[in-house]
Chain A
């Protein structure tokens, strides 16, 4: 396991929803693996089942076919070492920054002293200590996202699942938070699986970028990206080349899905 963190195996994973009595396929035979440690990006257009995949990995939905293993075990809801950050951050508006951040620790019935110590540590590391008494409504989008990350890190996970975490932020805030994420990774022991529809984000952060087709989601192509997160990479020719390749892959994936659907029809 390079750098620690959870190893993830997704093997011929399928999932469908029942909608008005019809079967809607969300994921079809999705397979990929993550060795552990670092950021991995899943990219695809809307409707490619990215969020569904994260829910399955978080143990919130059971696979309908195939299997998912995290460190060799099936994911269960509330797996202690998995943390999930949802698109709209999932912060509770009635809890202060402090209460949101220590929520996972409170739910896990940790002793009060330990909750205080861990909460304080993570808030200070994320630069949120001064904001601890504020409510989410009193924070900017970037600050809210930092709180969501802090809440996830407080439980000391080995797998962090992020669903479009920076989608509603402006470009500069997004890049600043991407740097925050990168710094967190440097302490080791954490695998991040990031779902995004933003090509630049996937190309900068993902040491492996998995491109999904839409309706149903299946793996179209996997890109290795060894220079991900390295200094100056965001402005390098290599980065822009990968962005172009990802864009092409996404377009082809879309066309292939349309052809397949037309064939079905």
Chain B
């Protein structure tokens, strides 16, 4: 039976959202105080710099990075999910493509950054392409494996109602893989930010990766930590959005 869930109550908000953040800041504060080194400034100062830097320049870098990550996630989603569904349900094509995927999946895609930069330039396309290359594989493999494991009995029961191929995708396979797609997206968005940092820290003049590396090279530790806060905020916002969408799109999950 359904459990009473009230994700929006103030008590839950304080308990589940605020407490972990405060704990993190407390640990950070203790470490910074213990270390007493400018390389690890206390969280209060870092936060203050963060809010000062947002209108100055950090806000612009944040928006540029957000756009790159979101564009990559969308492209990976629209390419990876249909392909994963197709390979997961068409065994003979999967047999052909599986070795190809397993050969290319483990390659750390960031080694292609120089090639990608030569081909696509130094602007957005090369960075978005590199992030997409990483996230795409995660979504593809997860979706394919989820589609493979859809219960045959479920498919048969729908076929017996007269379902054609498209009906099976729409009513059975797509909703069956949806929770796994969200899991892949959650994992993928973390990876996307990590790759974003790498892509933006080479031959770049904007984005959070550039901002961080620039602050680092100037020994501007407070700005560096403001950049780190911005990057983790980007990840956090992505997770919150994905969790919300997941709850909306898969209301049967966890019943």
Chain B residues whose C-beta falls within 8 Å of the C-beta of A243 in the assembled complex? none
Interchain CB contact (< 8 A) of B159 among A77, A94, A137: A77
Interchain CB contact (< 8 A) of B252 among A106, A107, A137: A137
With an 8 A cutoff between CB atoms, is A103 at the interface?
yes
Are A84 and B252 interface neighbours, CB within 8 A?
no
Docked complex Cα distance between A106 and B161 (Å): 10
Given A92-B171, A94-B176, A107 and B157 contact (CB-CB distance below 8 Å)? no
Q: 0/1 per residue, A50-81, Cβ < 8 Å to B?
A: 00000100111000000000000000011010
Are A138 and B1 interface neighbours, CB within 8 A?
yes
Are B163 and A107 interface neighbours, CB within 8 A?
yes
Are A83 and B252 interface neighbours, CB within 8 A?
no
Interchain CB contact (< 8 A) of A107 among B2, B162, B176, B178: B162
With an 8 A cutoff between CB atoms, is B242 at the interface?
no
Minimal beta-carbon separation of A142 from chain B (angstroms) = 15
Name which residue of chain B comes closest to A154, CB basis.
B161
With an 8 A cutoff between CB atoms, is A86 at the interface?
yes
Docked complex Cα distance between A2 and B158 (Å): 30
Chain B residues whose C-beta falls within 8 Å of the C-beta of A14 in the assembled complex? none
With an 8 A cutoff between CB atoms, is B121 at the interface?
no
With an 8 A cutoff between CB atoms, is B9 at the interface?
no
Chain B residues whose C-beta falls within 8 Å of the C-beta of A155 in the assembled complex? 161
Docked complex Cα distance between A151 and B160 (Å): 12
Given A92-B172, A94-B250, A80 and B162 contact (CB-CB distance below 8 Å)? yes
Docked complex Cα distance between A108 and B160 (Å): 12
Chain B residues whose C-beta falls within 8 Å of the C-beta of A88 in the assembled complex? 153
Interchain CB contact (< 8 A) of B162 among A85, A91, A94, A108: A108
Given A94-B250, A107-B171, A138 and B158 contact (CB-CB distance below 8 Å)? no
Q: Which of B155-192 contact A (CB under 8 A)?
A: 156-164, 167, 171-172, 175-176, 178
Are A107 and B161 interface neighbours, CB within 8 A?
yes
Give the interface size class of chain B: 20 to 34
Name which residue of chain B comes closest to A87, CB basis.
B153
Are A94 and B153 interface neighbours, CB within 8 A?
no
Are A86 and B161 interface neighbours, CB within 8 A?
no
Docked complex Cα distance between A138 and B250 (Å): 15
Given A92-B154, A93-B252, A83 and B2 contact (CB-CB distance below 8 Å)? no
Chain B residues whose C-beta falls within 8 Å of the C-beta of A92 in the assembled complex? 154, 158, 171-172, 175
Interchain CB contact (< 8 A) of A137 among B163, B167, B171, B255: B255
With an 8 A cutoff between CB atoms, is A191 at the interface?
no
Docked complex Cα distance between A88 and B158 (Å): 13
Minimal beta-carbon separation of B52 from chain A (angstroms) = 47
Chain B residues whose C-beta falls within 8 Å of the C-beta of A80 in the assembled complex? 162
Are A103 and B153 interface neighbours, CB within 8 A?
no
Given A78-B163, A92-B175, A93-B252, A103 and B156 contact (CB-CB distance below 8 Å)? no
Name which residue of chain A comes closest to B253, CB basis.
A94
Name which residue of chain B comes closest to A137, CB basis.
B255
Are A84 and B162 interface neighbours, CB within 8 A?
no
Are A55 and B159 interface neighbours, CB within 8 A?
no
With an 8 A cutoff between CB atoms, is A135 at the interface?
yes
Are B2 and A138 interface neighbours, CB within 8 A?
yes
Interchain CB contact (< 8 A) of A103 among B2, B164, B171, B176: B171
Are B1 and A84 interface neighbours, CB within 8 A?
no
Q: 0/1 per residue, B60-73, Cβ < 8 Å to A?
A: 00000000000000
Chain A residues whose C-beta falls within 8 Å of the C-beta of B153 in the assembled complex? 86-88, 90
Chain B residues whose C-beta falls within 8 Å of the C-beta of A108 in the assembled complex? 161-162
Name which residue of chain A comes closest to B159, CB basis.
A77
Docked complex Cα distance between A97 and B44 (Å): 53
Given A107-B161, A138-B2, A60 and B156 contact (CB-CB distance below 8 Å)? yes
6 closest pairs, A vs B, by CB? A90-B157, A78-B162, A137-B255, A104-B161, A84-B160, A94-B175
A residues within 8 Å of B by Cβ? 55, 58-60, 77-78, 80, 82-88, 90-95, 103-104, 106-108, 135, 137-138, 151, 155
Q: List 16 interface pairs A-B (beta carbons < 8 Å), by A numbering.
A: A60-B160, A77-B160, A83-B160, A84-B157, A85-B157, A86-B156, A92-B158, A92-B171, A92-B175, A94-B250, A94-B252, A95-B175, A103-B161, A103-B171, A104-B161, A107-B171
Given contacts A78-B160, A137-B255, 9 further A-B contacts (CB under 8 A): A55-B156, A82-B160, A90-B153, A90-B156, A103-B158, A103-B171, A106-B171, A107-B158, A108-B162
